[in-house]
Amino acid sequence: MIIPSNVFATRNYLPLCMNESEQSRLLDVCDELIQNQKTLLLASRSADGNPAISYAPYVRAAGIFYIFVSHLAKHTQNLLCVPLASVLFIESETAADNLFARKRLTFDCQVMEIDRGDPVFEAILSLMTEQFGNTVAVLRGLADFHLLALKPESGQLIAGFGKAFAIDAEGRLQPHKN
């Protein structure tokens, strides 16, 4: 059984010039950005290299984002053909102090399709049904829907002006490198 976990549970690594309190606050910002949204913004590209942006409802389990998407959607076709994605969680415009410095968290992800016969498929769809209701039960019966796992490889947190941090695959903050 898959148990949802906090991607940012590793709080014992301090980037240069950052105290434990500041690191904890920034990791809380990461968690809040993810937890306050039921959908993620999703960038993909086609085999020809053409970019596409979309969104999808998601659940998170063991640090992996799962989306259940139709093959009819351009982003699904892209992700199945080029199994790379970038996901974005961003502070709402109304909550932001400054629209140029909205808090945001991005992840570069590897994408893997979860087969309908895999026990993970059932576990994740159960989580999705709990979170999103009966719509998932209807979509589950449609053969064109695919369960995709988006596994973060690296990321970036922007917590305001001059507050950019790289995030590694284990969820540890690092000073931003240009």
Q: What is the pLDDT of residues 127-140, one digit of tens each?
A: 999 999 999 988 98
Residue 178: per-residue pLDDT = 56
All domains in the chain, ordered by first residue:
35-59+78-97+130-151 (2.30.110.10)
**Band of residue 14 on the pLDDT scale cut at 50, 70, 90:** very low
**Band of residue 8 on the pLDDT scale cut at 50, 70, 90:** very low
Report, as an integer, the average pLDDT of 18-38.
84
Q: How far apart are CA 50 and CA 32, in angstroms?
A: 32
Q: Residue 109: is it exposed, middle or buried by C-beta count within 10 angstroms (0-12/13-18/19+)?
A: buried
Q: What radius of gyration, in Å, describes the C-alpha atoms of the chain?
A: 17
The 10 Å CB-count burial string (b at 16+, else e) for 52-89 is eebebbbbbbebbbbbbbeeebebbbbbeeebebbbbb
Contact (CB, 8 A) for 136 and 145:
no
DSSP string, 125-172: HHHHHHHHTHHHHHHHT-TTEEEEEEEEEEEEEE-STT-EEEEETT--
> Dihedrals φ, ψ of 32, to 5°?
-65, -40
Strand partners, 89: 105
Question: Global pTM?
Answer: 0.85
